Chains A and B, each alone.
Chain A
Amino acid sequence: MKRSDYNKSIRNVNEKRLKEKIDEFKRKNIIFKYLPKQVLSKIIHVLIKSTFKNGEYLYKQFDKSKYIYFIDTGKIEISLNLNISELSELINHINETKLNILKVLTIKGEITESTLEKLIEPSCIINNFNLQYISNFSFR
């Protein structure tokens, strides 16, 4: 086999893999659904795949924020470490306001309304996306 043919074959395989990866991410993650292919292909290259075992933490409260995580498979529990007085306060708010737990956290001022929306339903962000912006977006 000629060297050029070999290189071409490798390139084709890599392109096919990249296309499959992009399609998979578009299908699974609504945040990427409307991004142009060239942007997504750049993002895909900087994603880091990691595997965790049952009981392991992706991150803990007060850790420095470094990554966001796209869950491919498995379940993750999101929790807060509250002491008794914080928990009592939270429950009082729930009882007084008849709101759900996350709304109470907002009232306490610990997270903003806009952050809350992202937290409850990440896909809601896409509703606010200006699709024209997305289609025009490119990395420099």
Chain B
Amino acid sequence: MNNDNEYIKKYELIKKLYDEHKSDEVAYNLKHLNQKNKNFVIKIVENSDLTGFEDSIDYKRRFFNAKCISEDVIVYKLDISVINIILYKLNLIPISTSYIV
């Protein structure tokens, strides 16, 4: 399937979903597809949120894409081994020897 067909198919699917649900998230995805972005947007995170948490803890590979959509995004990165040790100490994740070096 070429790219144009893929966009059209995706647009039709999302448009049908929007017609039934009229939610902001689906509306955002429609706008997104119109701009030739093929990824399905789950949510927008911004100031004071954290991201990369969900798949850092439970997965060894990223489950999502995280793309900057404003100018000069400033983030603080924290190595997941540090946060995993904290969560382990707080009994929030099961024992995983790979995290405790």
Q: Which residues of A contact B (CB under 8 A)?
A: 28-29, 31, 35, 39, 43, 46-82, 84, 87-88, 90-91, 94-95, 100-102, 110-112, 115-116, 118-119, 122, 125, 128-130, 133-134, 137, 139
How far is A53 from B63 in the complex, measured between Cα atoms in Å? 22
Assuming A62-B61, A66-B79, A112-B58, is B68 touching A53 (CB within 8 A)? yes
Q: How many A-B residue pairs have CB under 8 A?
A: 252
Main secondary structure of the interface of A (DSSP, over half): mixed
Q: Mark B65-88, 1 if CB is under 8 A from A, else 0.
A: 111111111111111101101100
**Contact across chains for B56 and A82 when beta carbons are under 8 A apart:** no
**25 pairs from A and B in contact (CB 8 Å cutoff):** A28-B48, A29-B48, A49-B77, A53-B71, A54-B69, A57-B67, A60-B65, A64-B61, A67-B52, A68-B83, A69-B51, A69-B76, A72-B74, A74-B70, A74-B74, A75-B69, A77-B44, A78-B65, A79-B39, A81-B39, A95-B17, A115-B57, A118-B53, A119-B54, A137-B90
Known: A74-B75, A101-B25. 13 other contacts (CB 8 A): A48-B77, A53-B73, A61-B64, A62-B61, A65-B52, A68-B78, A73-B72, A74-B70, A76-B66, A77-B44, A79-B37, A79-B41, A111-B63
Which residue of chain B is the closest to A56 with respect to CB atoms? Answer: B68
B44 and A76 form a contact (CB under 8 A): yes
CB within 8 Å for A90 and B40 given contacts A65-B52, A66-B79 = yes
Contacts of B75 in A (CB 8 A): 49-52, 58, 69-72, 74
- A67 CB, min distance to chain B CBs, angstroms: 4
Whether a CB of chain A sits under 8 angstroms from the CB of B98 is no
A67 touches B79 (CB 8 A): yes
Say yes or no: A68 contacts B20, CB within 8 Å.
no
Bound form: Cα–Cα A55–B41 in Å: 14
Q: Establish whether residues A59 and B76, one from each chain, have CB atoms under 8 Å apart when the complex forms.
A: no
Q: Which one, A39, A47, A91, contacts B76 given CB within 8 A?
A: A47
Closest 9 CB pairs of A and B: A74-B73, A79-B39, A67-B77, A58-B66, A72-B74, A119-B54, A75-B70, A48-B77, A47-B76
Q: Is the CB of A54 within 8 A of B54?
A: no
Cβ of B22 under 8 Å from chain A:
no
Of chain B, the residue at the smallest CB distance from A27 is B48
